[in-house]
Amino acid sequence: MKHIFFDLDGTLVESALGITKAVQRALAHFGIVEKNLENLEVFIGPPLFDSFQKYYHFSKEQYDTAIDIFHDYYHSVGIFECKLYDGIEDVLRELVENGKKLYVASSKPEEQARKVITHFGLDDYFVFVGGADGDHGTKRSTKAAVIEYVMRENHLSNQKDIAMVGDRCHDVLGARENHLPCVGVLYGYGNQRELEQAKATVIVCSPEQIPAALCQL
């Protein structure tokens, strides 16, 4: 595998605090009190519209209000309430030194994804940072569409040379929809059952295991 696509939240960065606090504020507007932020970690990774609809049965109109409140907090404060996973930068460095080309394929809006990568000084590791173009109903609002976009923008057509790395089922399913293998990681916000049910090609427990897993593909 020469071209490696990385998810962002839950794969490169531990982003729970900023995202869950933004969700908490949005829910509070509707009188929904959730004091335990861990209960809101299900919002990390999938498109936000899907999560508000799945877990709180929001209508499109409720979602439009909620996402405005979410972004008010997240854009100003929450986006930087995160940290790199221990060892992940060493993994990126190792892969680049071994001739791999690295890309970000995130469900986070692309502008936000680029800000996070720059904030942590990771720009030099990545050929391209790709993300969603909106929150719902846009051309790149699904993970599969983001992956296809990164492939198209970088003129990558040989699926045998590309692999995805991510922590949630939508990373695996998005990769499969584009006929790519996916390394599922358990140190993020998914779990063994979720990744197995989505049929991740390989599952690892730590960032340090990613290079060896990619060699198995």
Instruction: Confirm if 129 and 105 have CB atoms less than 8 A apart.
Output: no
How confident is the model at residue 1, as a pLDDT? 87
Confidence of residue 196 (pLDDT cuts 50, 70, 90): very high
Q: With a cut of 80, say whether residue 212 has pLDDT above it.
A: yes
Q: Share the mean pLDDT of the chain.
A: 95
Distance CA 1, CA 215 (A): 7
How confident is the model at residue 77, as a pLDDT? 94
Q: What is the DSSP secondary structure assignment for residue 77, as one 8-state letter?
A: T
Distance CA 212, CA 43 (A): 29
Distance CA 41, CA 32 (A): 16
Q: Please state the pTM of the whole predicted model.
A: 0.91
3-state secondary structure 46-64: CCHHHHHHHHHCCCHHHHH
> Going by DSSP bridges, is the β-strand pair 126-132/101-109 parallel, antiparallel, or unpaired?
parallel
Instruction: Confirm if 144 and 159 have CB atoms less than 8 A apart.
Output: no
The model's pLDDT over 23-67, given as tens digits with 9 standing for 90+, comes to 999 999 999 999 999 999 999 888 889 899 999 999 999 999 999
The DSSP bridge partners found for residue 101 are 3
**Which of 47-51, 126-130, 152-156, 165-169 shows the lowest per-residue confidence on average (mean pLDDT)?**
47-51
Q: What is the DSSP secondary structure assignment for residue 85, as one 8-state letter?
A: P
Which tops the pLDDT comparison, 147 or 108?
147
How confident is the model at residue 139, as a pLDDT? 78
Annotated active-site positions, please? 7
Q: Is 197 helix (H, G, I), strand (E, B) or coil?
A: helix
Percent pLDDT > 90 in the chain is: 90
| Alpha-carbon distances, residue 22 vs 76, 122, 124 (angstroms) | 10, 25, 29
Q: Which domains does the chain have, with CATH numbers?
A: 3-14+83-215 (3.40.50.1000), 16-80 (1.10.150.240)
Distance CA 125, CA 42 (A): 28
Query: Which tokens go with 183?
Result: 């390394």
